[in-house]
Chains A and B, each alone.
Chain A
Amino acid sequence: MGRYVFKLPDVGEGTAEAEIVAWHVKVGDVIHEDQNLVDVMTDKATVEMTSPVSGKVVALNGAPGEMAAVGSALVELEVEGAGNVKANGGAPVKAVPAKAAAPKVEAKAPEAKPAPAEHANPAGMKAAFATRAEGDKPLASPAVRQRARDMGIELQYVPGSGPAGRIGHEDLDKYVASGGRSARGGGGSSYAQREGVEEVKVIGLRRKIAQKMQDSKRRIPHYAYIDEIDMTELEALRAHLNDTRRAGQPKLNVLPFLMRALVKVLPLYPQINARFDDEAGAVHRHAAVHIGIATQTANGLIVPVVRHAEARDIWDSASEVARVAALARDNKASTGDLTGSTITVTSLGALGGLATTPVINHPEVAIIGPNAIIERPVVRQGQIVVRKMMNLSSSFDHRVVDGYDAAAFIQKVKALLEHPATLFMD
């Protein structure tokens, strides 16, 4: 019998550490080769770690939410044969979690203490009601009923501790003390008060999102710019293209047109299609336009990347957006699918709203957020006419993009979208 230590391998692109998301085995499990041991998450992707050997799990190092350094021991197994460490090496290899201390503290000391059990436990409430059959009038003496009425409390929400669920004065007092609502004026509300606090650990992708957002907002002085765009003509074109598309061509939404506009204008504003390495003090202006597509997935926000958008036509852009978004939603995006964008587009589609103040996807320096298209009355040549209007929201890193340039950039985008033929002219 030997001992085999499974160490966190290099999961790509110079990753130094990964977060443990979920264990799939526990100590004592007998596992076979290729069995999934643990999910870890790097900056960009969640990766399943499978066991290279068969054996019995004797130790797991790290809890979900903790960071593990590349090369640190994740799992120790008892295996047939020699294993990869000396059996007489004695003590199990200690895990060397990278920067583990800080996250550990975070994980073990939740900021908000859950409310006292009496409030938080809705089951306690139910027990008190169990003695009162559904649909029963609450059982209480006339004096208790009167007092409840004076306090504006509906007795059907007050747990009765007496026989047959009878509500006494002390039950009423307890209900009020526990924060049961006493209506402020009026005859009392018939809505029940909700109790309880659920603690949700901010781990995995959620923590990643939190860190990214925090980082972006802390580092980048955002400059937001919003203008409205008359989309009437583009919408007519889009409807026509959708009606006449060939088999195999994707249905077009606004996004590929916006991407087309961006790739046409960005060469004029190279400081916007850039990544700012503020620690090194250098802006890397990219010739290629790799557009991040902010995508909502079941687990949260992910930004897959459409590479070389400048080289894609409308149809190709639409297909590629659909492809990478699907990968992200199905949790199949590779690290490569998720890295390297030079500018990001964030669209809420039908939920677009009037305006947004999008958060820049650091280290990029700009993000563009189209809002909803709405028919609005606008004035054209002294006449009020109904046009399909869309606001275009955007944020820029004001350290490296001047407001003037940002505005001029958006105006050029606007001009292209309002005259859609120009999108396709060189």
Chain B
Amino acid sequence: MAETIHTKVLVIGGGPGGYVAAIRSGQLGLETVLVEAARLGGTCLNIGCIPSKAIIHVAGEFEAMAHAAKAPLHGIALKTAPAIDFAETVKWKDRVVKRLNTGVAALLKRAKVRVVQGWATFSDGKNCTVDTKDGPVTITAEHVILATGSVPVELPFLKFGGPVISSTEALSLATLPKTLVVVGAGYIGLELGIALRKLGVEVTVVEALDRILPLYDATLVAPVAKWLEKNGVTVHLSAHAKGMAKGKLNVELKDGKTIELAADNVLVTVGRKPATAGWGLENMAVDMAGAFVKIDDQCRTSMKNVWAIGDLAGEPMLEHKAAAQGHMVAEIVAGQKRRFDPASIPAVCFTEPEIVSAGLGPGDDAAKGDDVITALFPFAANGRALAMDAGDTGGFVRVLARKSDHRVLGIQAVGAHVSELSNAFSLALEMGAVLEDIAGTIHIHPTLGEAFHEAALRALGHAIHI
């Protein structure tokens, strides 16, 4: 006979939204069940953020060595060019992922969350059946937290399979291709394309819009464009991939001409879409907002006590947003008063160089006009950046503040390792900092973070080092 579970909280999806919700529920003493069909950790941990960072790290090391083999680099010279066994790289990456999977499982266990492995299918808002290896398990819950995440968007004329791959396959390639065409110059395509370029792959980028990284302003993206150009990555803007034929990708260029690009692999990164199909969402009678499940500022769906978090529930599709929502929903279920009202949801691109943005940028309507101060401090004037050979990438930190009361509206940076500055930016925005707060905070020397301090000083009209 099939097992039946009655629980207070049921979390669907073991990604960073779901597992955080489950752990927090457990911490708050709520009886919690988490259902995951694949491995714990979701896209982020298994096939997204973490594995891509591992590959990017390896690519960086390889690039430095390759550079030293070509010509001495700051005194380092390698007699022979480095070799890469990408299968070994992938194995190492898998170990990192495995370690984190195990960690998540242990955390869930410690929080007394019961994990059910299998695919859940809902028959209505509060009931689902999970196909486990031991047979079907029926789960009935008072509260259902939907955290099914998202999947890569497939192009109908470039279906995944064979040489056409998504980011998932790109992170587990058996061997490195000689040539790669990246279709879609968003952050996922560029992060992976740049990493593979550093590993010696010939990379071409095809983007339908007229610019790369369209979510960021042109000034912020310029250093990345410069790197791509300098490192022999051809970028076709306003160009459209048409399909594969005989190992080549047909691309229609801006001028209407069609070219063929040699491509051992085609990496399609044209976006992600919420995972809404195949688990009975249609039986749950929740309202939708476009492709996403519709939620309010507490992540409530239109069905009482059914909650949706993370990629399933709207843009931006980012790990840290999902986790924050999961955390919040668990506390609301436990009776606390919570609302999702962050000052900003920062975003990072691990391109070369890295890009960070928190709050409003110069492209946002709310930050346009005369009543906004914009100040930029280049890493070329930052000692630490020069000392780590990161001063000449065109990187900078930029602060936007309101002229009338110096309220900080947004902070962006582009440059080596700026991803680590992002949390300082977010903290400033969440604390409601004004320029004087940042100017009055001693920033440690010598660090890249000093550029943030100097940008604030410059906004106030008295930067020291420029």
Contact = CB atoms under 8 A, between A and B. Distances in A.
Interface stretch (B90-98, B127-135, B214-222, B427-435): B427-435
Given A141-B431, A164-B432, A167-B432, 16 more contacts: A131-B405, A137-B343, A140-B432, A141-B430, A141-B432, A146-B338, A149-B337, A150-B336, A150-B337, A152-B337, A162-B432, A163-B405, A163-B437, A164-B406, A166-B434, A187-B337
Interface in B380-426: 402, 404-407
Contact of A165 (B405, B431, B436, B437): B405
A18 B437 CA distance: 66
Interface string A130-150: 010100010111100110011
Chain B CB within 10 Å, residue with most, of A139, A140, A145, A149: A139
Contacts of B405: 131, 163-165
Contacts of B430: 141-142
Contact of B404 (A133, A139, A150, A187): A133
B337 A166 contact: no
Contacts of B337: 149-150, 152, 187
A137 B409 CA distance: 12
27 contacts: A131-B405, A133-B404, A137-B341, A137-B343, A139-B407, A139-B432, A140-B432, A141-B430, A141-B431, A141-B432, A142-B431, A145-B341, A149-B339, A150-B336, A150-B337, A152-B337, A163-B405, A163-B407, A163-B434, A163-B436, A163-B437, A164-B405, A164-B406, A164-B407, A164-B432, A165-B405, A166-B434
Interface residues of A, number: 19
B13 to A, nearest CB: 26
Contacts of A163: 405-407, 434, 436-437
A150 B338 CA distance: 8
A163 B406 CA distance: 8
A164 B434 contact: yes
Contacts of B431: 141-142
Interface string B111-155: 000000000000000000000000000000000000000000000
Interface string B298-341: 00000000000000000000000000000000000000111101
A315 to B, nearest CB: 66
A24 B404 CA distance: 48
Interface of B: 336-339, 341, 343, 402, 404-407, 430-432, 434, 436-437
Chain A CB within 10 Å, residue with most, of B337, B404, B432, B436: B432
A134 B405 CA distance: 13
A355 to B, nearest CB: 46
Contacts of B343: 137
Nearest to B336: A150
A145 B328 CA distance: 14
5 closest pairs, A vs B, by CB?
A: A139-B432, A164-B405, A164-B407, A163-B434, A166-B432
Contacts of B406: 163-164
A33 B436 CA distance: 68
B294 to A, nearest CB: 20
Interface string A156-197: 000000111111000000000000000000010000000000
Given A163-B436, A163-B437, A164-B402, A149 B338 contact: yes
A163 B436 CA distance: 9
Contacts of A150: 336-337
B356 to A, nearest CB: 20
Contacts of A141: 430-432
Contacts of B402: 164
Chain B CB within 10 Å, residue with most, of A140, A142, A167: A142
Nearest to A142: B430
Nearest to A144: B432
B300 to A, nearest CB: 12
Interface string A51-84: 0000000000000000000000000000000000
A339 to B, nearest CB: 65
Interface in A201-236: none
B145 to A, nearest CB: 20
Contacts of A133: 404
A55 to B, nearest CB: 57
Contacts of A152: 337
A139 B431 CA distance: 8
A139 B428 CA distance: 11
Nearest to A131: B405
A165 B406 CA distance: 11
A97 B341 CA distance: 67
A149 B405 CA distance: 26
Nearest to B434: A163
Nearest to A167: B432
Contacts of B436: 163
Chain B CB within 10 Å, residue with most, of A150, A164, A187: A164
A148 B436 CA distance: 25
A152 B336 CA distance: 11
A140 B338 CA distance: 15
Nearest to B371: A133
A136 to B, nearest CB: 8
Chain A CB within 10 Å, residue with most, of B404, B407, B436: B407
A167 B431 CA distance: 10
A133 B409 CA distance: 13
A138 B341 CA distance: 11
Contacts of A166: 432, 434
A142 B426 CA distance: 11
Nearest to B436: A163
B268 to A, nearest CB: 38
B405 to A, nearest CB: 4
Contacts of B437: 163
A155 to B, nearest CB: 10
Contacts of A146: 338
A142 B340 CA distance: 11
Nearest to B408: A164
Contacts of B338: 146, 149
Nearest to A141: B431
Contacts of A140: 432
Contacts of A131: 405
Nearest to B407: A164
Contacts of B339: 149
A133 B341 CA distance: 19
Contacts of A165: 405
Contacts of B432: 139-141, 162, 164, 166-167
Nearest to A168: B432
Contacts of A149: 337-339
A283 to B, nearest CB: 69
A166 to B, nearest CB: 4
B113 to A, nearest CB: 24
A357 B402 CA distance: 62
A150 B430 CA distance: 18
B410 to A, nearest CB: 14
Nearest to B404: A133
Nearest to B430: A142
Chain A CB within 10 Å, residue with most, of B404, B431, B436, B437: B431
